[in-house]
Structure 1
Amino acid sequence: MDFHLPAEVEAYRAKVRAFVGEHILPLEADPSAYDEHDNIRLDRLETVRAKVKAAGLWAPQMPREMGGLGFDQIGMAAAYEEMNRSIFGPACFNCAAPDDGNMYVLNRVATPDQKQRWLKPIVDGAVRSAFVMTEPSPGAGSDPGMMLTRAEPAGNDRWKVTGRKWFITGAEEATHFILIARTSDDARKGLSAFMFHKDQPGWRIIRRIPIMGPEEHGGHCEIEFEGLEIDDKDRLMEVGDGLKLTQIRLGTARLTHCMRWLGLAKRSMEIAIEYAERREGFGIRLADRETVQTMLGDLAYKIEIGRLLTMKAAWKLANGDFARKEVSMAKIHVADTLQEAVDVGIQINGARGYSKDTPLEWIYRYARQARLVDGASEVHKMVLARFYQKERGDFWSWGV
């Protein structure tokens, strides 16, 4: 087992860390840099993105021929952790959800013509995108087999879409959409995937759903399809491959959440130790109190466990494995660790941590979604239990 990063990845990681410290962290302390939804204002985002491109740090997860740097999931894990040292970081490098997952799956499954039309503009940062799958009850949530939105043949090699989706991240700002809809009642091959453009008629955003926040650009929207017509050339993969596409997308997408969350967990600890080392009470620094040291030490090893779980899953993905067990384990542990890290950060900082004088309250609100998005923690535990029932002692086997 080799835990060394490739030299190219380590050099990139160091450059990202320096860039975040110089160009992005200062924006967090500038109230004018925020939009009304507590994210970086779009004009300020574009300014930083131009600097990222000029520094040669743009879209590391995409192939070089598409304008990226060609990193696999191992390189992504190291880089994304550094990007999310700032609450604004991932979007600045074009590595934020949902664009990140959409770029990954389009690069994997789209035809050359589809890549030029639908993928390249996202990679370039010219447009934003959304992944349209989740539905209101009784429709599809964690179980895609419950999907009610339908795409039916409409003649002339076209499909007509009817139904409703919700909590579609980024929809209000998106131009390119990946849609998953039912095309038959087959249990495994009943879903198909399509691309559509925001200017196509036959669909509408019903509302931007208010959430605890902070929000991704474009919010989380409820969408209604009222006869949207999609040309068959804009279908992704084969008819019936929609579930397969979601599995290709979500394995890496779930893990990139973990990569980014580890950055936020480390940042929370960074803010905590910085304050503990200069704050005194009753004649002693907080950092010298055993209770505070225990809190910090507990976090340090839990964050490292999360990094190891995430990197193992990244290694398996990079070597062609779906890494379902490893991704689920990372997702559960890192989501819990992020929430614990920011909670401890707030506790050590006291009222300062509860205020907006640090990013801790922002991270605290954001962290609560970690146990829900891309599969609730309970669903991932159920996945692990099923693997154990099937594999028993082999559940923990080493690859040879």
Structure 2
Amino acid sequence: MTAPQYSPRATALAERVERFVRDVVVPYERDERCGAHGPSDDLVAEMRVKAREAGVLTPHILEDGSHLTQRETATVLRASGLSPLGPLACNTMAPDEGNIFLLGKVGTPQQKARFLEPLVSGRARSAFFMTEPAEEGGAGSDPSMMQTTGRLDGNHWVINGRKKFITGAVGAQVGIIMAKSDDGACMFLVDLPDPAIRVTRVLDTIDNSMPGGHAQIDIVDLRVPADQMLGQSGEGFTYAQIRLSPARLSHCMRWTGVVQRAHEIAVDYANRRHAFGKALIEHEGVGFMLAENVIDLKQAELMTDWAADVLDSGSLGTAESSMAKVAVSDALFRVADRCVQVMGANGVSRDTIVEQAFREIRAFRIYDGPTEVHKWSLAKKIKRDWKAAQA
């Protein structure tokens, strides 16, 4: 899982995380508390106690509160992702990991003490309230379509709107809500649960790795103290980019770990299973699929590390994270699909995580903007760059 280009501290940390996930977390994959809408909160809490004892809870945040570099984070999060439950146990899972990053960059000292500390310590979960119902014309990949409103009333903001596909809202203690004021997009920090934030349903989706699932939410006359606005009124889209660029890469890191493990399972199966007089791996069609897996996994790792280096250089890295998101999500989907194919009927059963890896990676191709939106964004940049070159 590690390579010479990573720092000694990241290499050592990733090795500890990997041992913990393989030895302690993997046995939980068959736990009955893993349900259709994600693992239960008591299961997550139980695993986090063990992660804390092993010294691998929130491993990307150092004791002084500083963050590993994005390149260092890559090898640690890949190790945590070797089980679908690993990021939950180690507190490196979305949306918490992205929310921790954003609060660390934008939050005031008071906001960090109240909202960030419980997340870093693993005592609380969070939710990011941005996406709105498409059937009502709300914001999705185009955040400028935001319909949720925030109106200043004395020293409080009053928020009204509807959200959809809000990951982890059920059971979360911290919320970041996006709404629009007269100045533009805004973000607000809220304590959860709140009677003004109503879960109308939890959707049945193809994935089930995140606690609380994905909920539809009605926000009715929610009053938020003015000092719980994150940053400045009208700067919400800027803050969203601060969060989304590294968050896209974090998804790439975690899901590479999951698919690496699916590949390991498929390799083991192909070497043990015999058909037509020899092991499956000795059949060219199977062997070639596994060879292609190795190529795609290495390309995913290199692409993520390259984009991480761009962020570490101080760049916002929007284009680079978009390129990585497209390349890595598509590559991992190919790998997961081949793993299912190599294992045949066993690949679509739930006897191993291969079936879940396939489902989760299909959803990953939509997280934080579908592939086509990122390609469109890159095409617009290509056009801008061409025009600038002609000037």
Q: Is the pair's TM-score, using the shorter chain for normalization, greater than 0.5?
A: yes
Native 8 Å contact 2:37 2:212 kept in 1: no
- Match in the other structure for 1:50: 49
- The CA deviation at 1:47 is 2.4
Give the letter aligned to residue 294 of structure 1: F
* Alignment CA distance shift 1:148-1:393 (3 Å): closer
| Secondary structure of 2:171 counterpart | coil
* Alignment CA distance shift 1:51-1:394 (3 Å): farther
| Residue deviations 1:179-236 (CA, integer Å, cap 9, x gap) | 110002xxxx511111111244422111112212324111111111111011101011
Give the letter aligned to residue 303 of structure 1: L
- The CA deviation at 1:70 is 3.5
1:1-400 paired onto structure 2 within 5 Å: 4-28=5-29, 30-32=30-32, 34-37=33-36, 39-66=38-65, 70-137=67-134, 138-155=137-154, 157-184=155-182, 190-392=184-386
| Residue deviations 1:267-312 (CA, integer Å, cap 9, x gap) | 1211111111111111111111111121111121111111111001
Give the letter aligned to residue 360 of structure 1: V
- The CA deviation at 1:31 is 4.0
| Secondary structure of 2:64 counterpart | helix
Native 8 Å contact 2:296 2:335 kept in 1: no
Native 8 Å contact 2:186 2:234 kept in 1: yes
Distance, in Å, in 2 between the alignment partners of 1:379 and 1:243 is 16
Give the letter aligned to residue 152 of structure 1: R
TM-score, normalised to structure 1's length?
0.92
Distance, in Å, in 2 between the alignment partners of 1:38 and 1:150 is 29
Give the letter aligned to residue 130 of structure 2: M
Distance, in Å, in 2 between the alignment partners of 1:76 and 1:254 is 13
| Secondary structure of 1:4 counterpart | coil
Give the letter aligned to residue 79 of structure 2: E
Native 8 Å contact 2:38 2:212 kept in 1: no
| Secondary structure of 2:322 counterpart | helix
* Alignment CA distance shift 1:19-1:148 (3 Å): same
Native 8 Å contact 1:64 1:70 kept in 2: no
* Alignment CA distance shift 1:393-1:147 (3 Å): closer
Which deviates the most, 222-231 or 48-57?
Answer: 48-57
Distance, in Å, in 1 between the alignment partners of 2:244 and 2:386 is 26
Distance, in Å, in 1 between the alignment partners of 2:196 and 2:37 is 31
Structure 2: 5+ residue stretches without partners = none
| Residue deviations 1:354-390 (CA, integer Å, cap 9, x gap) | 1111111111221211111100100001111122222
Distance, in Å, in 2 between the alignment partners of 1:60 and 1:71 is 9
* Alignment CA distance shift 1:284-1:38 (3 Å): farther
- The CA deviation at 1:266 is 1.0
Which deviates the most, 19-28 or 158-167?
Answer: 19-28
Between the two proteins, the alignment pairs up a number of residues equal to: 385
| Secondary structure of 1:81 counterpart | helix
Which deviates the most, 210-219 or 108-117?
Answer: 210-219
- The CA deviation at 1:245 is 0.8
| Secondary structure of 2:243 counterpart | helix
Distance, in Å, in 2 between the alignment partners of 1:198 and 1:342 is 36
Give the letter aligned to residue 127 of structure 1: A
| Secondary structure of 2:34 counterpart | coil
Distance, in Å, in 2 between the alignment partners of 1:298 and 1:384 is 27
* Alignment CA distance shift 1:393-1:327 (3 Å): farther
Which deviates the most, 320-329 or 229-238?
Answer: 320-329
| Secondary structure of 1:77 counterpart | helix
Native 8 Å contact 1:60 1:70 kept in 2: no
| Residue deviations 1:132-189 (CA, integer Å, cap 9, x gap) | 011113111111111111000112x1111111111111001111100110002xxxx5
Distance, in Å, in 2 between the alignment partners of 1:394 and 1:153 is 41
Which deviates the most, 45-54 or 227-236?
Answer: 45-54
Aligned-pair Cα RMSD in Å:
1.9
Distance, in Å, in 1 between the alignment partners of 2:192 and 2:16 is 36
* Alignment CA distance shift 1:309-1:392 (3 Å): farther
- The CA deviation at 1:35 is 2.8
Give the letter aligned to residue 91 of structure 1: L
Distance, in Å, in 1 between the alignment partners of 2:280 and 2:34 is 35
Native 8 Å contact 1:306 1:333 kept in 2: yes
